[in-house]
Every structure is written in C-alpha cells, then in structure tokens.
Amino acid sequence: MNEFETIARFFKPLSRDGKGIRIGIGDDGAVLRAPRGRELVIATDTLVAGVHFPTDFPPRAIGHRALAVNLSDLAAMGADPAWYTLAVSLPKIQTAWLGAFARGLDQMAREADIHLVGGDTVRSPVLSATITVVGTVPRGQALRRSAARTGDGIFITGPLGLAARGLALWREGARRGRALRAFMHPVPRLPWIPALRKHARAAIDVSDGFAQDLGHLLQASRVGAEIDLDRIPRNRRDPDSLGRALFGGDDYELCFTAPQSRLPALRADAQSAQLPLFEVGRITAGKGIHWRLSDGSPPPRVVGQSFDHFARSRMQG
C-alpha cells in the first residue's frame, strides 16, 4: 500500500462535510470560509513516539491523544473547534495499526465536532503525528495569557497529577485504572468554552505541569500569584500527588483567572452546567508564585522540574 492508497483508505473517510468547508481533502489545499463576525484561532502540536507517548502505546489512544491535546489549546483560547489537518510520519504501513489510529482520531473529532480538511503522510524512522487545529471565536473575545490582573481568582477545571501517575503505572506494567485513562485518553475541556469567554480574563492549558504553565501566564501578564497547596485538586492517596500535580504535566486541564466581580456568576454557571471548578489562589502584584497552606503553617519546599523538550525526554521508550 502506497502513500496515496493509505490516505484514501484511512484518512479521506474521516473528512466529512462541515460548515465553512468549500474544498476539503483532494486538492493541494483546503478552502475554508470563516463565519461572519468571528476570528480564527490556530494551534499546532506534534506528538513523537518515545517523547510524548511510550513506543508501545495503543494506536487508538495515540489518535485520540494527538487531537485532544490540540483541542485543549483551542479551549484555553475560548475558541470553538472547526477544522484540523493531520501530518503523520510512519516507519512502515501497518493496516491494523492505521485502522485503530484512525478510529481513535475520528471518535475524538466527532465528539468535538471538528472536521479533517487535509494533511500529509510520509515515511520516517520515528512515528509522529502533527495536528493543526483551527477554531473560531467571536471577534475580540479570544482569551490570552497576558490579561490577568491583580486580585483575580485563579481556577483549575479538574484534578492535576493523574496523567503523570498513569504514565508511572504504565511503566510498571499496569493497563487499567482511572490514572491510566487520564494519561491515555485526555479529555479537552471543551464544555468550558462558553463560560470562559463570559467570565475569564486569562487562561492557559496545563500540559507541561501546573507550576510551569501558571508561570507562563504570570510572566505574560507581568504579575505574581499566591497558591494554596491544600486547595489543588489531586489524588491524595498517591504519596507523590503534590509533586505530580505541580510538575507532572499531561493533565490538559485549564487554568484561568477571573475578576472578583465575576466570581458569583462564574460559580453559578459552573454549577448549572455541572462543570468542575476549583479555586486555588489569586493573582498578586510582583513576580513568581508564592506557595502557602490554608492554616498558615510553613508550606513544604516546592521543588521539581516540569517538561522541557530540550532539557530531558519525558519518555524512555
């Protein structure tokens, strides 16, 4: 089976008629029409075997994960998913593997109502998948990292550290459980998009570790933060739950700030829509993160290293 037969068999069937698609798969490029009164938000992520997932990872989980992590970026920007492209590099063509990969990809795409409009398939010594997602947002309403202000509350949309625990369990040979699901099948927080556009001031998705990603938001906004370690949602039965929550990464929860005037309405909307919401701190003047405990006692020493592509590899095969 050659490149074009592979595309025709496994990926062209994933291309469905979608709103705004004038020309999809089959030409040298896609032709798309943005909805009136909306701006486009574009994000790209590459997942590489041995770096972002173990080399023996199930192909269906790889397909799901490749799209889900990109959708998380759209959610952090307050953008509704619209279209995506896929570029996949393969050491060799294996029909069973490609079929499972395509099913995982398509299931996530259907859940998010996002449509494949193009891409590429190439041969490479290393398996990788690069996805570019395009979302739309009402003009002027895209969320940014640089908009946090002193006094804002800091919120997280779900527990942190589960995915890092799941990776550790995978390495130990486990193949089932809540933590494994969190790592293998991350759930982008798309239901949060309308509420974020309504209430949030700044946002970022937690992909490389809460401490590092919150730090990116603080640096962009030129502010500091006070974080209550007791209020960070995590699995407290895990003896390393705090370290995993702060530095583990791969959670794909959203971290956002909201002004004090919006907090009652934010909490009401979250409760009405049954959206998990955890307030973990507040934005302060100054720089950096000040860690504290609820009872005022001295916090444990917070030391760790979040993910950095050029500092160390997250996976070891």
CATH number (domain holding residue 56): 3.30.1330.10
Query: Over 90: is that where the pLDDT of 119 sits?
Result: no
Distance between CA atoms of residues 302 and 291, nearest Å = 8
Position 280 confidence tier, pLDDT thresholds 50, 70, 90:
very high
Query: What is the secondary structure of 230-255 as a DSSP string?
Result: GGS---TTSTTHHHHHHHT----EEE
Query: Over 70: is that where the pLDDT of 264 sits?
Result: yes
110 and 209 in a single domain? The answer is no
Residue 261 lies in a domain: yes
112 and 153 in a single domain? The answer is no
Q: Which two tokens stand for residue 154?
A: 């800091």
Average pLDDT on 252-257 reads: 98
Average pLDDT on 161-168 reads: 94
Residue 182 lies in a domain: yes
pLDDT tens figures, 26-74: 778 889 998 999 999 999 999 999 989 898 999 999 999 999 999 999 9
Q: How many domains does the chain have?
A: 2
Domain boundary among 80, 106, 138: 138
Higher pLDDT, 75 or 15: 75
11 and 126 in a single domain? The answer is yes
How high is the pLDDT of residue 317?
Answer: 34
Distance between CA atoms of residues 222 and 37, nearest Å = 31
Give me the domain span that covers residue 51.
3-138
Position 306 confidence tier, pLDDT thresholds 50, 70, 90:
low
149 and 123 in a single domain? The answer is no
**CATH number of 245's domain:** 3.90.650.10
103 and 171 in a single domain? The answer is no
Domain boundary among 119, 138, 157: 138
Query: Over 60: is that where the pLDDT of 315 sits?
Result: no
Start-to-end C-alpha separation, the chain: 28
158 and 278 in a single domain? The answer is yes
Residues present in the chain in total? 317
Distance between CA atoms of residues 266 and 249, nearest Å = 26
Query: What is the secondary structure of 289-304 as a DSSP string?
Result: EEEE-TTSPPPPP---
In contact, 184 and 166? CB cutoff 8 Å: yes
Q: Among 104-118, 239-253, 265-279, 284-298, where is mean pLDDT lowest?
A: 284-298
93 and 11 in a single domain? The answer is yes
Residue 265 lies in a domain: yes
Average pLDDT on 120-130 reads: 92
Query: What is the secondary structure of 56-99 as a DSSP string?
Result: T--HHHHHHHHHHHHHHHHHHTT-EEEEEEEEEEESS--HHHHH
Residue 316 lies in a domain: no
